[in-house]
Amino acid sequence: MSDETLTVLAFLVYLIAIASLGVAAYRRTHGVSGFILGDRKLSYWVTALSAGASDMSGWLLLGLPGLAYVSLFESIWVAIGLLAGTYLNWRFVARPLRENSERYGNALTIPEYFELRFNDETHVLRTLSALCILAFFVFYTAAGFVAGGKLFAASFGLPYGSAVILGAIVIVTYTSFGGFLAVAWTDALQAAMMFFALSAVAILALAYAGEPSVPRGSAISVSAHSQSLSFGVVVSSLAWGLGYLGQPHILNRFMAIRDAQALGAARKLALGWTVVCLAAAIVIGYCASTVLEVPLAPNDNEQAFIRLIHVLLHPAVAGVCLAAILAAIMSTADSQLLVAAAALTHDLFRRSSNKRDGVLGHHRVAVVLICIIAVNLALDPTTQVFDLVAYAWAGFGAALGPSIVMSLYSTKTSRWSALTGMLVGTVVVVSWELLEGGLFDLYALLPGFISGLAAILLVNTVVEAR
């Protein structure tokens, strides 16, 4: 049996497993509450693993190793920021959000939670937050399709455009049919695969590389390593952690757990998984510059993990690890598609019937439509996964993060202050990304989050003064 055949067979086994979970989830999904939030019946371990997988995505296996390949120190600071953000999110947001989202009218989505929490009868808050979700998730989902296209193109020699479309078809099929349960169950499986693939390749890469030497990648690597100790780069890297507070596809995992008391156990599992995976991804990117005989081209740095898989592993095992990359991509793209579809059909059009057919049909059509838009954005082969994820991550963190935190910990916060915070955070991120040089080289999430939080506090102070 040829090497390529073994790799393809490993892919097929994985896809069959995913399809089986999708069918099982479809049979257990009855009504909008089940499709959007799984009727709040997730176990703690599914909650933890699916949150991790939907959080990290193909960025963990492609973007972060690629960053470590060209800028080791920057990748380390980004990882530190992400780990800190993961802990803060689980420690201070998970439980109060789970309890409040059920207390305030059993809210199924973040926009619905905002409306019920702030008693917004005008629906403006719900509409604005839903529009933010749709806008930024299109870019985020496109990042997943870019990663999928690069995976299929590099592994099987497919044209990039065909590879993007193939990956999108796989993702949209089980997401549209199985809903939240299909997404959560498959994400838990995908998290296990990501853990195995990253750990195995990192260990082998260290063994093969021996004592690490200065990467031979190019002058780009050396200069990036030296510059990464600057204050601006360190602060921007750490600022990634703030983004967790506003990521709807992660927050809805907290809302879906069966028992809020189990969130402590889920937090420990999620943090352990995150530490190992982030460390392994950085090791892979750094060792790739030593192990690979031919340095990667500047636009190909995100293929570091894929190239190492082919160099270090038997074809059958390589197929499993390549399937893990697909798993990482799918684990976030499916969550994003589901949340974006819910924002469109449940929040903007507010179709609240619990009938299995009809309304669920609208949700499934919405998944397909959003997928088509994201695919069109992803068809440019020069697009970098890291850049798309960074933009969407900043958008969510700044637009929704401050309002989420204040809704949980400040009784003074009103719908008007939350609305102001969303608008200010969004405008600052979008504007910041259009400017360059000096202060504007800072990651847009930091000024966006600070501005949004400051706007909320300012409105609260003015209202209280009256």
CATH value at residue 239:
1.20.1730.10
Q: Shortest CA distance to 58 belongs to which of 229, 306, 233?
A: 306
Confidence class for position 272, pLDDT limits 50, 70, 90 = very high
Coil vs helix vs strand at 248:
helix
DSSP one-letter code for 358: T
Is residue 452 domain-resident? Answer: no
Q: How many domains does the chain have?
A: 1
- Among 96-100, 166-170, 361-365, the range with the most confident prediction by mean pLDDT is 96-100
Backbone phi and psi for residue 385, each to the nearest 5 degrees, phi listed first: -55, -45
Alpha-carbon span 143 to 146, nearest angstrom: 5
Contacts of 334 (CB under 8 A, 6+ apart): 54, 171, 174, 175, 182, 183, 186, 187
Decide: residue 282, CB within 10 A, 0-12 exposed, 13-18 middle, 19+ buried: buried
What percentage of the chain has pLDDT greater than the value 90?
Answer: 35
Q: Are 95 and 102 in contact (CB under 8 A)?
A: no
Written as one letter, the residue type at 5 is T
Among left, alpha and beta (phi > 0; psi -120 to 50; other), residue 296 is: beta
Tell me the pLDDT tens digit for each residue of 117-157.
Answer: 999 989 999 999 999 988 888 887 887 788 777 777 776 77
Global pTM reads 0.82
Is the residue at 392 inside a domain?
no
Is the separation of the CB atoms in 110 and 363 below 8 Å? Answer: no
- For residue 375, give its domain range: 3-383
Q: Is residue 79 part of a domain?
A: yes
**pLDDT at residue 460 is higher than 80:** yes
For the cut 70, the answer to whether the pLDDT of residue 253 exceeds it is yes
CB-based contact 245:401 (threshold 8 Å)? yes
On the CB side of 304, CA atoms within 13 Å amount to 34
- The answer to which of 88-92, 99-103, 248-252, 340-344 has the lowest mean pLDDT is 340-344
Give the 3-state secondary structure of residue 466. Answer: coil
Question: Taking the mean position of all CA atoms in its chain, how far away is CA 221?
Answer: 27
Angle ∠(96,97,100) on CA atoms, nearest 5? 80
Residue 220 counted as domain residue = yes
Rg of the chain taking only CA atoms, in angstroms:
21
Over 50: is that where the pLDDT of 6 sits?
yes
Between CA 290 and CA 338 the distance in angstroms is 40
Place of tokens 């690069």: 150
State the pLDDT at residue 226: 41
> From residue 216, how far is each of 179, 289, 292, 296, 309 by CA, in Å?
46, 6, 10, 10, 19
SS3 29: coil
Answer whether residue 83 is part of any domain. Answer: yes
User: Does residue 169 register a pLDDT over 90?
Assistant: no
Class of residue 126 by CB neighbours under 10 A (exposed 0-12, middle 13-18, buried 19+): buried
pLDDT attached to residue 177: 59
- Of residues 411, 331, 382, 365, the one with CA closest to residue 170: 331
Euclidean distance between CA atoms 166 and 301, whole angstroms = 23
pLDDT for the residue 331: 63
* Span between the terminal Cα atoms of the chain, in Å: 78
Answer whether residue 244 is part of any domain.
yes
Look at residue 407 and tell me if it is in a domain. no
SS3 content of the chain, % helix, strand, coil (to 5): 85, 0, 15
